[in-house]
Chain A
Amino acid sequence: MDKNLLAQLVFYCFAAVTVGSAAVVVFSKSIIRSAFALLFTFFGVAALYAYAGADFLAATQMVIYVGGILVLLLFGVMLTHKIYNLQLKSETFQFIPTLVVALAVFVALAVCMMRTHWFNGGPTPAVPTTASIGELLMKDYILPFEVASILLLIALIGAAMIVRRGSE
């Protein structure tokens, strides 16, 4: 029983870190602060993945989001602002209407999710998932896997081309 309580406490800590830092991303005035708060959001989501038994996905989240996308976003911030501009403020507009809309979306989603009777087979035992995911990707999902690799190639070439064409 005590162990159960501890597990719940850990989940609530991770959830609080995730949602709290996401709130900082949204409400912070400084873009740099937003970007670094996003780091904690990604960490929190990775911890929640690990809590749900998705160990491979947690590692993937760390490598791709924290190591890749976040660095890319930081590059975006640095390259589009003058470095000596210490303010780096991001203006907001239509704040109050959007707050109402976002709250309405949250309440609607939460009510729907609570009222629906999801099929709940109970949590599956947490076993290492890497080998099974690799098998699924190579057997059942081989076509989407190849399409995803082509998509990444196209994105790579496209990104290089878009940036280069601007400089000519």
Chain B
Amino acid sequence: MIGLGHYLIVSAALFSLGIMCVLTRKNAVNVLMGIELILNSANLNLVAFSRYSAGNLNGQVFAIFIIVVAAAEAAIGLAIVLSMYRIVKSVNLDQADTLKG
């Protein structure tokens, strides 16, 4: 039978892949993709615990709030990336070495 442990392993794999994406990529949009992977893995954990451990829906409500914050984060992150592209003509993160807009 599929139990809590299966979900936790899948989510751990997603989390470490997300960390890898954030740490290795130079492209800022790719780094944002890695952050989405990490947030999805956290959501998967919350849903699994809500099903198998808690027995109520509080975990799913938390997951909804995480999705809301992820949407806000993606919008702001891409706005910053576009603005950076306009200024330094590149989305490589190692060329973003100035704070002045």
Contact = CB atoms under 8 A, between A and B. Distances in A.
Interface of A: 4, 7-8, 11, 15, 18-19, 22-23, 25-26, 31, 34-35, 38, 41-42, 45, 48-49, 51-54, 56-57, 60-61, 64-65, 68-69, 72-73, 75-77, 79-81, 90-95, 98-99, 101-103, 105-106, 109-110, 113-114, 118-124, 129, 132-133, 136-137, 141, 144, 148, 151-152, 154-156, 158-160, 162-163, 165-167
B67 A60 contact: yes
Given A68-B71, A73-B33, A123 B57 contact: no
Contact of B10 (A8, A18, A60, A123): A18
A156 B74 CA distance: 11
- What band does the interface of chain B fall in when counting residues whose beta carbon is under 8 Å from A? 35 or more
A144 B61 CA distance: 10
Interface of B: 1-10, 12-21, 23-30, 32-34, 36-37, 40, 43-44, 47-55, 57-58, 60-61, 63-65, 67-76, 78-83, 85-87, 91-92, 101
Contact of B24 (A38, A45, A92, A156): A92
A121 B44 CA distance: 18
